[in-house]
Structure 1
Amino acid sequence: MADNQHSLYLVAYDIADPKRLTRIHSALKKQGLPVQYSVFIVVLKRKALLRLLARISTLINKREDDVRCYHLPENNEADALGRQFFPEDVMLFTNGVNRIWIQH
């Protein structure tokens, strides 16, 4: 993975304090797309990801909070069960950028 290429990441968090939770959610919402209450998909270049994680690091309490970031492969399969964030006719896909496709 080159530093100048966009990659897909899954960021999940468990924040103990409601104020910190709001700050983390706001910081991630500026960079990514929420797919569940505490789970975001972001598509960023490596340097931008490191800046985002450094910003989050200043907002959390490292003794009480848990934030995880996973690099996802480009061609990954995912199964979803239960209530979904997106309606059935909306899909998130990437080829270097965040996109939402709405089927009409």
Structure 2
Amino acid sequence: MASERPALAFVIGYDISEPRRLLRVHREMCKHATPLEYSIFLLVGSDAAKDRCLEEIAELINPLEDDVRCYALPARGFQGRIGLASLPTGILWTGLPAAIA
């Protein structure tokens, strides 16, 4: 029996210069990943899922004006937050992937 590979985690961020393109990229990213901030997303999945996401985004951006970056996160890396929590105390967002919940 083949063992399942653990899901990989990637942080994808972008800086899009034109408002209409920005909205299109944001909508497409929401299909593939969980928004952490407006232009920062967490994609939990395979390398193939990450590649599909980036291919879709590449069709929407202007490579001379826009910047999209993707960083792989270590499997057991440090997770922390400084500052105001995104949700009030006692409220849990069950839409977050288990990797960061």
So what's the TM-score if we normalise by structure 2?
A: 0.79
Deviation sequence 1:25-79 (CA, Å, 0-9, x none)? 1111111111112100011211121111011001000011000000001111133
Q: Which amino acid aligns with 2:69?
A: R
The alignment-based identity, stated in percent, is: 35
Q: Give the Cα separation in 2 of the matches to 1:60 and 1:84.
A: 31
CA RMSD, 1 decimal: 2.0
Task: State the number of aligned residues.
Answer: 93
Give runs of aligned pairs for residues 17-28 of structure 1, distance below 5 A. Answer: 17-28=18-29
Instruction: Give the secondary structure class of the aligned counterpart of 1:74.
Output: coil
**Which protein is bigger by CA-based radius of gyration?**
2
Tell me, which stretches of 5 or more residues in structure 2 are unaligned? none
Runs of 5+ consecutive residues of structure 1 not aligned to the other structure: none
